[in-house]
């Protein structure tokens, strides 16, 4: 405790770090307040049905990502997911279209152009999703709930146009808040926005589970304590998944420049077992949200086909099977665009190094690629299992809202983002010759960038 208090004092004493943390907290506060600002024309007292609908299933997960903004019919109801979807599309285009491949190789200027394209694409995705959200809102609230825009017993054209524009603007504003955190705050802004939305639901989920266990047939306090113990164990496994590495030995030859000797030492290149971080789960989850959008444009009066019903059941076998496969595929995909074995081999050769027993150049690139492929397979499988754990845990009688924290997107994002943020804070402390957050100063965040 004494060390913890001393670390907090050190953090507060660094003016630049203090400003970054306070700036981040201020942006987060704006985001949380905005999630309670209801769309103009919607009476918040009539949202009970919408909140009930978004308490479980895919809509519940979407509501958790938006920090409850979805259930509140907020101006931030669409959250940051349209931006994530647009990012996925742009990165996929970078694998297939020469123009985007060229932009990826242009460095900072190419990155700016791709970010601009992603923003425009975000507007298009929002334009598709906003009418779906409004249609669902109309189905869940009585007509008198949209009182200022009622025209002939149904929302007027003004309500539709105004709501779509506001929802698009809300997502763009959330995206802008995330970019401001990245530039002037602590951590990756988009990741923090997602994390804050998730963690905002944790107290309600925890209290709901506790109340459920205290009921006559709930299992009592002992069962609740066992659930918490299992959750802690899964968190530790997730930390191992995020931080686990395979080290590749690199021997550097001796060089003499003037009177100084360089090289002649062995170093290790760490390669993450899960180099893609939580991005595969975020990508896969964005794809799994597509059925919601498609169903929103179908004639609900005629019912939903068995296929769409199956793909909307996040506790069903086929939903989780497809989710698992997508995570494995995206893990390989994102690892491939994040780590370039040929570039690593060239850098090792350029610095006068070599991997013992492996020829420099092409053979070194093949060696690194083989290692990467071998460790990515178990990493992707483990990531997939963690992602579908909530569906497995739910079979044990855990409430749907609380079971989502037993793995899946929520837990891995929480673990990854918290480790990333702590790692940045620790690097700031060590850079100014203070003790780190840990005694050995070895907090490691995710690799692979990501949200």
Q: What is the mean pLDDT of residues 320-348?
A: 85
Mean pLDDT of 167-185: 91
209 pLDDT higher than 50: yes
Classify residue 29 by burial, with Cβ atoms within 10 Å: 0-12, 13-18, 19+: exposed
Strands 154-155 and 245-252 come out as unpaired
The Cβ-side half-sphere exposure at 56, using a 13 Å CA radius, reads 11
Rounded average pLDDT over 430-444: 59
Report yes or no: 420 and 229 within 8 Å, Cβ to Cβ: no
What pLDDT, on a 0 to 100 scale, did the predictor assign at position 1? 60
439 pLDDT above the threshold of 60 = no
Cα four-point dihedral sign 123, 411, 211, 396:
positive
| CATH assignment of 202-451, among 1.10.3080.10, 3.30.310.50, 1.10.3370.10, 1.10.1740.10 | 1.10.3370.10
Spell out the alpha helix ranges (H) of 351-407. Answer: 362-394, 400-403
User: Quick check: 324 pLDDT over 50?
Assistant: yes
pLDDT computed for residue 45 by the predictor: 78
Residue 342: predicted pLDDT: 85
What pLDDT is stored for residue 152 in this prediction?
Answer: 45
Architecture in CATH of 1-185: Orthogonal Bundle (1.10)
Res. 257 pLDDT band, cuts 50 70 90? low
- For residues 134-155, average pLDDT: 64
Say if 1-185 and 202-451 have the same CATH topology. yes
Across 341-352, average pLDDT: 83
What is the C-alpha to C-alpha distance for residues 232 and 191, in angstroms, rounded to an integer? 22
User: Do residues 51 and 66 touch, judged by C-beta distance below 8 A?
Assistant: no
Q: Is the pLDDT of residue 167 over 90?
A: yes
pTM value surpassing 0.75: no
Amino acid 448: pLDDT: 45
CA distance 211 to 303: 35
Give the position of tokens 């620790």: 426
Condensed to tens digits (0 to 9), the pLDDT of residues 371-409 reads 888 888 888 888 888 888 888 887 777 877 777 777 666
Alpha carbon of 305 to those of 48, 219, 294, 311: distances in Å?
27, 38, 12, 10
pLDDT tens-digit readout, 73-101: 889 988 888 888 888 788 778 777 888 87
Count the Cβ atoms, other than its own, within 10 Å of residue 395.
Answer: 9
- pLDDT mean over 247-253: 77
| pLDDT band (50, 70, 90) for residue 27 | very high
Task: Please report the pLDDT score of residue 443 as a whole number.
Answer: 56
Hey, what are 135's tokens? 């249609």
Asked if residue 27 lies in contact with residue 33, where contact means CB atoms within 8 angstroms, the answer is no
pLDDT of 432 over the 80 cut: no
Residue 302 is predicted with a pLDDT of: 46
Residues of the chain with pLDDT > 70: what percent? 82
Answer whether residue 210 shows pLDDT above 80: yes
38 forms beta bridges with 74
264 or 108, greater pLDDT: 108
Q: What is the mean pLDDT of the chain?
A: 78
As a whole number, mean pLDDT of residues 251-268 equals 64
* Residue 30 pLDDT grade (very low, low, confident, very high; cuts 50, 70, 90): very high
pLDDT band (50, 70, 90) for residue 124 = very high
Contacts of 35 (CB under 8 A, 6+ apart): 66, 67, 68, 69, 72, 74, 76, 197, 200
| Model confidence band, residue 26 (pLDDT cutoffs 50, 70, 90) | very high
Q: Where are the domains of the chain?
A: 1-185, 202-451
Model pLDDT, residue 144: 64
């Amino acid at each position: 405790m004494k060390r913890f208090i001393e670390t907090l004092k050190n953090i507060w004493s660094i003016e630049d770090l203090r400003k970054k943390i306070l700036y981040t907290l201020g942006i987060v506060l704006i985001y949380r307040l905005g999630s309670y600002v209801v769309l103009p024309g919607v009476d918040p007292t009539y949202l009970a049905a919408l909140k009930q609908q978004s308490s479980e299933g895919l809509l519940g997960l979407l509501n958790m990502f938006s920090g409850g903004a979805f259930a509140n019919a907020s101006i931030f109801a669409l959250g940051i997911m349209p931006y994530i979807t647009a990012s996925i599309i742009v990165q996929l285009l970078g694998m297939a279209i020469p123009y985007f491949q060229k932009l990826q190789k242009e460095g900072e200027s190419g990155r700016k152009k791709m970010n601009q394209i992603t923003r425009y694409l975000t507007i298009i995705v929002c334009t598709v999703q906003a009418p779906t959200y409004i249609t669902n809102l109309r189905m869940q609230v009585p007509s008198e709930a949209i009182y200022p825009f009622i025209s002939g017993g149904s929302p007027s054209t003004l309500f539709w146009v105004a709501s779509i524009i506001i929802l698009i603007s809300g997502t763009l504003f959330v995206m802008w808040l995330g970019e401001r955190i990245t530039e002037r705050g602590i951590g990756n802004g988009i990741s923090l926005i997602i994390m804050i939305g998730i963690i905002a639901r944790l107290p309600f989920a925890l209290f709901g589970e506790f109340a459920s266990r205290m009921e006559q047939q709930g299992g009592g306090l002992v069962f609740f304590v066992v659930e918490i113990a299992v959750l802690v164990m899964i968190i530790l496994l997730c930390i191992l998944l995020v931080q686990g590495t395979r080290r590749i030995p690199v021997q550097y030859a001796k060089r003499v420049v003037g009177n100084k000797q360089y090289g002649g030492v062995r170093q290790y290149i760490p390669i993450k077992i899960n180099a893609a971080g939580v991005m595969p789960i975020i990508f896969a989850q964005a794809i799994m949200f597509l059925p919601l959008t498609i169903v929103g444009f179908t004639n609900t009066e005629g019912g939903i086909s068995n296929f769409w019903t199956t793909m909307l059941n996040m506790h069903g076998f086929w939903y989780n099977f497809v989710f698992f496969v997508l995570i494995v595929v995206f893990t390989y995909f994102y690892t491939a665009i994040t780590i370039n074995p040929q570039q690593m081999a060239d850098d090792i050769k350029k610095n006068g190094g070599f991997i013992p027993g492996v020829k420099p150049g092409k053979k070194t690139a093949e060696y690194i690629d083989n290692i990467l492929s071998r460790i990515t397979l178990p990493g992707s499988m483990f990531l997939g299992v963690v992602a579908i754990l909530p569906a497995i845990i739910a079979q044990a009688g855990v409430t749907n809202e609380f079971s989502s924290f037993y793995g899946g997107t929520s837990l891995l994002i929480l673990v990854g983002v918290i480790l990333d943020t702590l790692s940045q804070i620790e690097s700031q402390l060590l850079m100014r010759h203070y003790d780190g957050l840990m005694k050995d100063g070895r907090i490691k965040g995710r690799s692979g960038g990501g949200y």
